[in-house]
Structure 1
């Protein structure tokens, strides 16, 4: 079954909503974003999260010790790197934590993705390229650029209830990552969260 990740949770109401509908993952954004949370806020939100839902920390070019502390204290269980992190950076991180590492790629070419697959991260996340932004633009990208990848990947970039079924059917990702598509006026919307989860989980043909 296609995995579901809802990114950018910031409020107690968001936690209550995901606890009711139970995506597989949620994301706490520590990168520069309107959805950014502090470690203290993330710890508070994580304390209220259903333990069956994994918490992912989203980072952009952060010092490795900052990430490691969040892993060691149980605030997050997976790491998502959304900046210019190199293979050396990923290896240094993986030497210090057993938490799985996701590397986000802002898609521009097929060759870029074939090269990204060689990285030592555990999963990729494919997002839209937007000049001057590391992610979270809510824009789609040309999914025809995605080659056959052996490394599992999350599909991101402008996904919402109206296009998510087609996107999953075309790309067969390990999982989908939704942020702005589950929001109304910049805040997570429980009805949109419910719609997205029901669409994915009601289709038995959606397998990774």
Structure 2
């Protein structure tokens, strides 16, 4: 099985390099630089107050500026309104947006056109039926575990879903795999589902802070796979 191609507007993989690596939830410029030094291709900043990794506009800009030109900066938001996104894009100047709320296909298209940026849309996955909405979105899909029932924010909360359900996805559709990835599990994930990119946050942290050794181990595991 070949790796999925790069979606429109997103960076291409070097030949035979395997999936791109996104390290999300960077909260400090030095750790963002460390992520890139470890080999990350994409760096994620979170602008969503309920998240423990939330950055205000100035902090988001500082992290983005630290790696600008050396990695693709992806700003993650959840059901953000136009004013919030206008301010974030103007201040942090991300290269792409990642939407983790209940954004409709129409909302995704609107934001892509409004900001002129490539957009990724997260979908929570538990069964093959959860992939039915995928065809409606003109965006890079981020396939993550569904949040626990008592969760106060979206996302997989570091949980893994059954990757076998992705057999139901159009094999020509590129996606980013998220949810429960860490240096020990990511090689199996790459071999099993062959994603365009892999996305990790808590899996490379110690006490909710990005761990340089874990980031390096994660990238090395992806490259070896």
2:36 aligned residue:
19
SS at match of 1:138: coil
Structure-1 separation of matches of 2:119 and 2:220: 27
2:169 aligned residue:
148
1:185 aligned residue:
207
Shift of residue 72, structure 1, vs aligned partner: 4.4
CA 1:184–1:156: 2 relative to 1, 3 Å = same
Q: For the Cα contact (< 8 Å) 2:22–2:43, is it kept in 1?
A: yes
2:97 aligned residue:
79
Q: For the Cα contact (< 8 Å) 2:105–2:136, is it kept in 1?
A: no
Shift of residue 74, structure 1, vs aligned partner: 5.3
- Could you say what the CA RMSD is over the residues aligned between the two structures, in angstroms? 1.6
2:118 to 75, 100, 120: 100
1:167 aligned residue:
189
2:144 to 116, 120, 127: 127
| TM-score for the superposition, normalised by structure 2 | 0.84
Q: Find out whether 1:88 has 2:106 as its counterpart.
A: yes
SS at match of 2:136: coil
Shift of residue 64, structure 1, vs aligned partner: 2.3
| Number of residue-to-residue matches in the alignment | 202
Q: For the Cα contact (< 8 Å) 2:39–2:216, is it kept in 1?
A: no
Structure-2 separation of matches of 1:35 and 1:101: 20
Q: For the Cα contact (< 8 Å) 1:124–1:152, is it kept in 2?
A: yes
SS at match of 2:158: coil
Structure-2 separation of matches of 1:50 and 1:96: 22
- More off after superposition, 160-169 vs 43-52: 43-52
Structure-2 separation of matches of 1:202 and 1:89: 38
Structure-1 separation of matches of 2:137 and 2:216: 34
Q: For the Cα contact (< 8 Å) 2:60–2:92, is it kept in 1?
A: no
Q: What are structure 1's unaligned runs of at least 5 residues?
A: 204-208
| TM-score for the superposition, normalised by structure 1 | 0.90
Q: Find out whether 1:10 has 2:31 as its counterpart.
A: no
Structure-1 separation of matches of 2:92 and 2:58: 12
Structure-2 separation of matches of 1:144 and 1:58: 27
2:82 aligned residue:
64
Q: What are structure 2's unaligned runs of at least 5 residues?
A: 1-17
CA 1:92–1:16: 2 relative to 1, 3 Å = closer
2:11 aligned residue:
none
